[in-house]
Structure formats: C-alpha cells, structure tokens
Amino acid sequence: MIIFRKDTLLTAILQILIIFISFMVTCPFAYAAFTIEDEKKVGKEFYDKLEENDVIVKDVKVNKYINNIGQLIVSKANNVPFDFTFSVINSSAINAFATPGGYVYLHRGLINLTENESQLAGVLAHEIAHVNSRHIADMIKKSQKVNIAALAAMLAGAFLGGGGEGTAAVMGFSLATATHLNLKYSRQHEEEADRLGASYLMKAGYDVGATLDFLRIMRRYEFYSNSVPSYFLTHPETDARIRYLDGLLQTTYKLKGRESIFHSYRKIKISMMLDGDNLNAALKHFQDETEINPRDSDALYGLALTQFKLGFINESLTTFQKAYEVAPNDEDILRELGKCYIKAGQTSQAIAHLIKAIQINPEDADSLFNLGKAYAAAGNYAAALDKYKQAEIQDKGNDEIYYNLAVAYGKTNETGLSHYYFGIYFKKKDRRQSAIFHFQEALKFLSQDAQKSQDIQEELKSLRKKTR
C-alpha cells in the first residue's frame, strides 16, 4: 500500500498516463516495432513523472547504496543496451519491476522483507536481466490488440496498480485488460532472467543462492499474511522458479559467494523501516534487538532514530550516546547524535559531533547542513553560511538548504542574496508569485553584479512564462 495521500497518487498516475498517451499519439510503435530508442523515451518519461510527484525515495544514502549494487551487477553483463537507473519507490508493497529503457525500481516494502544485501542484489540482477533481454518490448510486440490507451494501462496498471491502490481501474482501465494483453513474464522469460541474473550475481561476487532464499521468504510472507505480494502479479510461476533456481544451484553455482559487498545494508534497511507509518512497530523491533544484544550499534542506532521520530528526545539522546560509546567513529551515529543535540538545545555538543562526522566524510551534505544549523543556533552566521554553501554543492535537492541560506544572509545583512535565495526556495516549492517578488527585490540590491543579475533575469523570465 503506497503511503502518500491518495489524491496525490492519483494526480501522479493521471499525469503519467497523459504523458504516455501524448507520446504514443505521435509515435507509431504501439502498432509496429518497439525499438531501443522507443524504450529509452518511454522509460525516461515514466521515471520523470514519478520523480516529479515524489513517488521516488530521495534519501541520498539509500539511492547511492542501491545504485552501487545495481551498477556493479550491470558491469558483469554482456551487450548491455541501456544506461541503467535504479530507484526506490516509497511504498510498502512487496514489489520490484523494470520499465523499458533500463529503469529498475524496488519498493520500500520489498527492501524491508529482505534479510541481507545478496538478496537485494538477487532481485536487482533478475530485473536487469529482464531489461537486457528486452522482455517487455517482446510482450508488447506480441500483443496483437495493443492500442495507445491499452499500452498505458499495461505499464501504469500492472506496475503501479499492484499495491492495492487500483490505479489503473480508477483511471478507466482495468487490470483485467492488462492481463488480457499479457503483461506478465512468461516461464521462458523468468527462466532466462533467473539464468542471466545468476550469472551476473556470481561474476559480481554475490551468493547466487540468495535469490532462492528470498523467493522462499516471500512465499512464507504470502502464507502468513494471507496477501499476495505485488511482485508475484507480474512475476508468476514462482514455484517453477524456485525449482529452476534450485537446479542451477545444484549443478552450476555450488560455490557460495559473499553476503555483502558494500556493507551498508542494515543502515539502509533501518531508513526504509522508519519511512513507513508504523513507528511503534519499529520501536518494538529495535527494543527487542537491543535486549538481545545491548552493544549492537546498528540496533541502538535504529532505536535512537525511532525514539527521535516519535518525539522522545531525551530517550533518543541517551540511546544515541550508548551507540556512540560502542561505535565512536560511525559517521551515521555521529551525524544523527549531532542532530539530536541540536533538538535538545545543546549546541556546542552538536557542533563537536558534527565536525567529527564531517572529518570522516567531508562530502556528507546532511552533516554539513546540520553543522550549519548548529552554528546558526549558536549565532555564528558566517560559519553557518560556509557550511550551507558546502551542503548546496553536495545536495541541490534539499530545498531547506536554500531557505537556511536566505535566513543566514539576512542575518549577516546581505539583503540582496537573502532575497535571491528566498526566490530559489519559493521557486522550488512552486510558489511562483513569492519567488517573483523575492527575485525582483534581489535585483534592486544586486544590479551591480552582472552574473547574478543575469541569473535573476533568467529566473524571472522562466517563472513569468510558467505563470502565463
């Protein structure tokens, strides 16, 4: 079940379908060959609308981790026709899918169900194999009655309608239509993807048996929850896949590979657990883990983060301090402990721990941004500005950096730059009139700066065009 508001989701899906329909009106591939260039364009349009409507998780560390695994696997494949993009969808559905053009998606719920990095890698390898083999293009070509609207229903309905939202039906398409057009991988597709995926995994150094382990976990989940994982809707023949993979393990992949290569799995899974609605369940989970092992730094980290999100600041601070005692050089613990100190009003402690986190990872935008906040809380706005600027270089997707830059420039009496960054902030929030106001005010102060004036004029031109 996707966790954002239903009206927001439906708007996103409507826009996705409009994009598909408008693209396919001008392109004949729905009735003819579905070329690699067609795949790239469709996949890009689909990805862009998901990103614009906040369907995709924007956690930098999560995305870097998933991309590292995915690109490692891609590097072990032959004749790769696409540049791959790997993303996480903010949904509790147990699902993963690939769209045309090299776009692979994991749902947050699927990540939470895995037990180790190799299992995640196994899912990614399987989807990469589907893309490299162009299985979706093959299904579209073989669908005799494909038309523009039906093809949109296949893609949006089958991939995004499997989490219980019924999005395709809401938009006037039925999932039965998608089934009629056979947007399911056949047994031959699945065997080819399992065979190629196993080869990719072995060459990357992962344990090939992890794919089989995860399919069995999903089968158990289905049995105990009385709910069919969305993944099974487009990836059928699960029992046959289990037998086929077992045969590969017995005959071809007898040597056990590595469970982990990038070593961030537990932290990433904690992030995914805490992005969900049920923080009380997460609290119980981490309390149980810390009772079993009171010196498990990852479990302490997860417990402290959960307490922080629930507003238990004093308890969170105590747990973070315990985690810090166990792992004093863990950059994630240092950063989050620093943020907790800011919330508790202990500015000097926050600064000390965030400086240490940045010494370990000078490019961590979150640590840089929060050190700027700590300096601002201490009244040192010049130092705050320096850190905000560094954070902006590392992460231009964090809108709050621009807001804080605007405030800090205001505090240091640089009024023109304060207006300029308020303009950037409101533009990113799609509040165009407020953005135009601040850019116009910025021009009054920055007219002598030729480059900045030109930048502002371009921003105003763009905003006025959109407003018209």
Does residue 164 have a pLDDT over 60? Answer: no
Does residue 34 have a pLDDT over 60? Answer: yes
The model's confidence at residue 143, banded by pLDDT at 50, 70 and 90, is low
Phi-psi category of residue 101: left, alpha or beta, with phi > 0 → left and psi -120 to 50 → alpha: left
Amino acid 306: pLDDT = 97
Comparing 8-12, 62-66, 144-148, 168-172, which segment has the lowest mean pLDDT?
168-172
3-class DSSP state for residue 87? strand
Looking up tokens 């902006």, which residue turns up?
A: 392
Radius of gyration of the chain (CA): 25
C-alpha closest to that of 161 among 177, 145, 146? 177
Q: Which residues of 282-314 are buried (b: 16+ CB within 10 A; e: fewer)?
A: bbebbeebbeeeeebbbbbbbbbbbbbeeeeee
Whether the CB-CB separation of 455 and 442 falls below 8 Å is answered with no
Rounded CA gap, 14 and 173, in Å? 12
Does residue 363 have a pLDDT over 80? Answer: yes
C-alpha closest to that of 221 among 360, 93, 331? 93
- Which of 37-51, 163-177, 383-397 reaches the highest mean pLDDT? 383-397
Domains and CATH numbers, the chain: 6-251 (no CATH), 398-468 (1.25.40)
Amino acid 170: pLDDT = 30
Q: How many helices (H) and strands (E) does the chain have?
A: 26, 3
3-class DSSP state for residue 431? coil
Amino acid 29: pLDDT = 45
Neighbour count for residue 188 (Cβ, 10 Å):
11
Rounded CA gap, 288 and 430, in Å? 44
Q: Which one-letter amino acid corresponds to residue 288?
A: D
Task: Return the higher-pLDDT residue of 149 and 63.
Answer: 63
Please enumerate in sequence order all residues whose Cβ is within 8 A of that of 384, keeping only pairs 6 or more positions apart, or say none.
372, 373, 375, 376, 404, 408
Comparing 71-85, 135-149, 290-304, 404-418, which segment has the lowest mean pLDDT?
135-149
C-alpha closest to that of 241 among 220, 222, 221, 213? 213
Sign of the torsion formed by the C-alpha atoms of 259, 265, 266 and 270: negative
Does residue 10 have a pLDDT over 70? Answer: no
The model's confidence at residue 271, banded by pLDDT at 50, 70 and 90, is very high
C-alpha closest to that of 342 among 387, 398, 300? 387
Given strand 103-107, what is the order of strands in its sheet? 85-89, 103-107, 96-99
Please enumerate in sequence order all residues whose Cβ is within 8 A of that of 289, keeping only pairs 6 or more positions apart, or say none.
296, 299, 302, 303
pLDDT digits (tens, 9 = 90+) for 238-256: 899 999 999 999 999 988 9
Does residue 173 have a pLDDT over 50? Answer: no
Rounded CA gap, 88 and 322, in Å? 31
pTM summary value: 0.83
pLDDT digits (tens, 9 = 90+) for 429-459: 999 999 999 999 999 999 888 999 999 999 9
Amino acid 425: pLDDT = 97
Amino acid 275: pLDDT = 85
